[in-house]
Amino acid sequence: MLDVSKPQAKAPFDTARLDSLMDDAGIDVLIATSKHNVQYLLGGHRSFFFENMDAMGISRYLPVFVYVKGALDKAAYFGHGMETYQTQLKPFWVSEVSTKSGGSVDVMQKAADYLRGLIGKPGRIGAELAFLPADSAAALRKALPQAEVKDALFVLERLRARKTPEELEKLRLASELVIDSMLAVIGSHGAGATKAELTEALRREETARGLVFDYCLIAAGSSLNRAPSDQRWEKGDPLSIDSGGNYHGYIGDLARMAVAGEPDAELVDLLGEVEAIQQAAFKPIRAGVEGGAIYAAAEPLLKKSKLHNHYEFLAHGMGLVSHEAPRLTATGPVPYDAYDAQRPLEAGMVVSVETTLLHPRRGFIKLEDTVAVTPNGHEVYGNRARGWNRAGRP
């Protein structure tokens, strides 16, 4: 039960904003079960034991954060027994904490029992349906059969849309460290290195700098295939490296170009055109400007190019999740609506801007940048190494 004698710490998120978002969505109680949203709501907590793998025995790890609208003192967390070590070192701010669960069913049963004892029959529960296992959902509905379960993804996405200064610093660091790692790999490799070798080297470089390596999309020569493979980076060939590495959960996602040897005049011109589109897209980014202005700024240059049929342009939100708010297009590779295209950008939002040229002869040429919206403009994180980076080995 709720320990009312426990002093209440300040929540690490905007509770008034969350209450308003829940009101708009018709939600009385929020149940968060994704690692990224639990981290956000608890102020940074992630289970060290389940950082990379959720499966455990015959079930899986499932963190459960409970928030009752307008009742901060009733917030609770239910987690796995392995998290007890972390709670002993750094207690959570919530009033009720239970780290005695072993799977996805018993943890949800504990959360439902808590809610039932606290407020009787919660009418409208917001849950992360994409991050709620079927057995957990069944346990929730069985324990609270009269409750209406609604999807809370949009509520939590909007809550995270404006980053705090602390979050922005993590995104900046993640971006800078990804660039440092790329330059270290390019500077220590050259013609003859395989895409698989380069990817593994990048994983080591990012890990050594305190990042968690997420992926590397890598293309060499005239090929447009971006999977690691035994294909070799040959002399004179372009190399595209697009990598995501996260710092304390916040993603640095950037793309840069390299060449084994010296770039010829055509390569210089092609990357120059990609860079011009990037810079045009950056220009309108500031608080108060409609999100669609980013696309509007890039479009004239895209249409003007002789290679316009081979270009792909994309701008999307970035933070704890790739492709989070702001949502700027409904025609990108990730299906969602263009909710923010006709709404003003807000200070603290972060946008990934990427221009890709799928050249039929010269291969994959791309720049991708992480851009933070500020009150009077924007800041580009990792704003270096934008040209042709030369291999360090002949």
- 229 has pLDDT over 60: yes
| Domain match, 46 and 91 both | yes
Which residues constitute the domain of residue 353? 165-390
Q: What is the pLDDT of residues 373-386, one digit of tens each?
A: 999 999 999 999 99
Neighbours of 131 (CB within 10 A): 19
pLDDT at 3: 38
pLDDT classification of 9: cutoffs 50, 70, 90: low
pLDDT at 122: 75
Q: What percent of the chain has pLDDT over 70?
A: 98
pTM above 0.75, yes or no: yes
In contact, 325 and 161? CB cutoff 8 Å: yes
- At 67, is the secondary structure helix, strand, or coil? strand
| Domain match, 176 and 231 both | yes
Q: What is the pLDDT of residues 315-350, one digit of tens each?
A: 999 999 999 999 999 999 999 999 999 999 999 999
Q: What is the pLDDT of residues 29-55, one digit of tens each?
A: 999 999 999 999 999 999 999 998 999
- 6 has pLDDT over 70: no
- 58 has pLDDT over 60: yes
Q: Please report, for the domain that includes residue 343, its CATH number.
A: 3.90.230.10
Q: What is the pLDDT of residues 109-141, one digit of tens each?
A: 999 999 999 887 778 999 999 999 999 999 999
Question: Residue 2 domain-assigned?
Answer: no
| Domain match, 211 and 138 both | no
Question: Residue 346 domain-assigned?
Answer: yes
pLDDT at 321: 94
Query: For tokens 């990048």, what's the residue?
Result: 202
Structure token digits, residue 59: 């079930």
How many folded domains does the chain comprise? Answer: 2
CA-CA distance, 63 to 68, in Å (whole number)?
A: 17
- At 365, is the secondary structure helix, strand, or coil? strand
pLDDT at 96: 95
Question: Residue 194 domain-assigned?
Answer: yes
Structure token digits, residue 268: 């210089």
Q: Which among 109, 367, 352 is positioned nearest to 242, based on CA atoms?
A: 367
Question: Residue 83 domain-assigned?
Answer: yes
Q: What percent of the chain has pLDDT over 90?
A: 94
Domain end call among 160, 175, 199: 160
pLDDT classification of 10: cutoffs 50, 70, 90: confident
Average pLDDT over residues 275-295: 98
Q: Please report, for the domain that includes residue 95, its CATH number.
A: 3.40.350.10
Domain end call among 160, 195, 214: 160
CA-CA distance, 258 to 183, in Å (whole number)?
A: 9
| Domain match, 48 and 178 both | no
Question: Residue 1 domain-assigned?
Answer: no
pLDDT at 8: 52
The helix/strand count (H/E) of the chain reads as 10, 17
| Domain match, 117 and 260 both | no
Question: Residue 222 domain-assigned?
Answer: yes
In contact, 344 and 290? CB cutoff 8 Å: yes
| Domain match, 271 and 153 both | no
CA-CA distance, 281 to 278, in Å (whole number)?
A: 5
Average pLDDT over residues 12-20: 97
Question: Residue 375 domain-assigned?
Answer: yes
- Helix intervals (H) in the chain: 15-25, 35-42, 84-89, 104-119, 134-143, 153-160, 165-188, 195-208, 265-282, 293-304
Average pLDDT over the chain reads 95
Question: Residue 289 domain-assigned?
Answer: yes
| Domain match, 137 and 172 both | no
Neighbours of 384 (CB within 10 A): 15
| Domain match, 187 and 130 both | no
Domain end call among 160, 193, 212: 160
CA-CA distance, 285 to 208, in Å (whole number)?
A: 33
By mean pLDDT, which of 56-65, 81-90, 117-126 is the weakest?
A: 117-126
pLDDT classification of 4: cutoffs 50, 70, 90: very low
pLDDT at 5: 36
Q: Which among 252, 301, 296 is positioned nearest to 273, based on CA atoms?
A: 301
Q: What is the pLDDT of residues 356-373, one digit of tens each?
A: 999 999 999 999 999 999
